[in-house]
Amino acid sequence: MKKKYALISVMILMAIALAACNNSKAEQNDELVMVDPIIVDLSLNAETVAVGEKVLIQVKVTQSGEPVEDASDVEFEIVREGGGMKVKVPIQHVQDGNYELEKSFNEPGTYRITSHVTARGQHSMPLKELTVTE
């Protein structure tokens, strides 16, 4: 008789524990919210510049059509094709979700410019090419 009560008690406790697990999972699923992605638009004011000429490199960061003013990390990675120069430059916010850098290049060649933007738990890395002529 004692064994039956013990078995029934264990089964009731297991049922309660399983019910509690199921409720907490349901509550967690209710809390999942889809977040709109950040949109990062990388632009250059020219695709070709001469050695020593300045180029404006800019990213505009938006989310749900609104400017992102609080990106946690924005930097431009600049790599010269064929080896040589590889630099990561941190960028500061200007206004209206715009982050920019004005830069000149001392050597001719093709440069790949990748913007690394981390904002609101997301990361985006658009890429552009710049040609520097003599």
What's the structural domain count of the chain? 2
Asked if the model's pLDDT at residue 102 lies above 80, the reply is yes
Question: pLDDT tier at 16 (50, 70, 90 boundaries)?
Answer: confident
CA dist list (Å): 75 to 4, 72, 87, 90, 99: 68, 10, 10, 4, 9
Domain that holds residue 4: 1-33
Place of tokens 């440069």: 111
Residues 74 and 111 in one domain: yes
Asked if the model's pLDDT at residue 28 lies above 70, the reply is no
pTM listed for this prediction: 0.71
What mean pLDDT is reported for the chain? 85
Asked if the model's pLDDT at residue 34 lies above 90, the reply is no
Share of the chain above pLDDT 90, in %: 65
Residues 55 and 70 in one domain: yes
Residues 44 and 29 in one domain: no
Residues 75 and 122 in one domain: yes
Residues 49 and 113 in one domain: yes
pLDDT of residue 64: 94
Residues 43 and 28 in one domain: no
Residues 76 and 93 in one domain: yes
Q: Which residues are CB-neighbours of 97 under 8 A, at least 6 positions away?
A: 60, 61, 62, 66, 67, 68, 69
Over residues 10-38, mean pLDDT: 64
Residues 16 and 48 in one domain: no
Residues 73 and 16 in one domain: no
Asked if the model's pLDDT at residue 17 lies above 70, the reply is no
CA dist list (Å): 42 to 45, 63, 105: 10, 15, 19
CATH number of the domain residue 104 falls in: 2.60.40.1930
Residues 57 and 107 in one domain: yes
